């Protein structure tokens, strides 16, 4: 992989556990991917039905941590660093929700076609557990 952005197919599978219920969702995006300074940079855009503008997302995947930054209709920056509890604020046109993220597990694997990241983390608000989450992100170069 080079430092020049390449078109990528990005697939995100999320499993969210709230109380005893599990909800699995799969998202697919076309974006870009590049490697710079030992970290992978993935970018993509999405627009939810209820939103008037798009949200641009930047994922930065390093060997030991990952960050997710969103701008546009939804604004947030989340840091996933195993063994640490980090602060985040989820902002929408409806308001803000301060959160903490406790990352239990993170793994980055690479192959000739792209990368895969696996995360397990918990979301808290005011020390109240909101959800347990699993996230798998696959990014594959196109062409």
For residue 25, is it within any domain?
Answer: yes
Q: CA angle, corner 58, sides to 57 and 64, nearest 5?
A: 135
pTM: 0.89
Q: Is 63 left (phi over 0), alpha (psi -120 to 50) or beta?
A: alpha
- What's the pLDDT score for residue 77? 92
With beta carbons less than 8 A apart as the criterion, state whether 23 and 3 touch: no
- What's the pLDDT score for residue 50? 67
- What's the pLDDT score for residue 69? 95
With beta carbons less than 8 A apart as the criterion, state whether 118 and 135 touch: yes
Range of the domain at 93: 6-141
- What's the pLDDT score for residue 91? 78
CATH at residue 88: 2.40.128.20
- What's the pLDDT score for residue 143? 67
For residue 47, is it within any domain?
Answer: yes
For residue 1, is it within any domain?
Answer: no
For residue 123, is it within any domain?
Answer: yes
Residuewise pLDDT in 10s, the chain (143 residues): 667 889 999 999 999 999 889 999 999 999 999 999 999 999 999 876 666 778 899 999 999 999 999 998 778 999 999 999 999 987 777 778 889 999 999 999 999 889 999 999 999 998 999 999 999 999 999 96
- What's the pLDDT score for residue 97? 83
- What's the pLDDT score for residue 84? 94
Say how many domains are in the chain: 1
- What's the pLDDT score for residue 20? 87
């Amino acid at each position: 992989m080079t430092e020049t952005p390449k078109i990528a197919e990005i697939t995100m599978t999320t499993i969210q556990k709230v109380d005893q219920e599990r909800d699995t969702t799969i998202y697919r995006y076309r974006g870009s991917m590049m490697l710079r300074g030992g970290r992978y940079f993935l970018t993509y855009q999405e627009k939810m039905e209820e939103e008037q503008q798009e949200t641009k997302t930047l994922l930065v995947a390093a060997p030991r941590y990952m960050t997710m930054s969103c701008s546009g209709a939804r604004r947030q920056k989340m840091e996933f660093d195993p063994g640490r509890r980090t602060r985040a604020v989820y902002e929408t046109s409806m308001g803000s929700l301060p959160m903490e993220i406790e990352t239990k597990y993170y793994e980055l694997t690479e192959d000739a076609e792209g990368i895969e990241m696996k995360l397990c983390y918990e979301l808290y608000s005011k020390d109240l557990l909101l959800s347990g989450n699993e996230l798998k992100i696959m990014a594959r170069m196109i062409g």
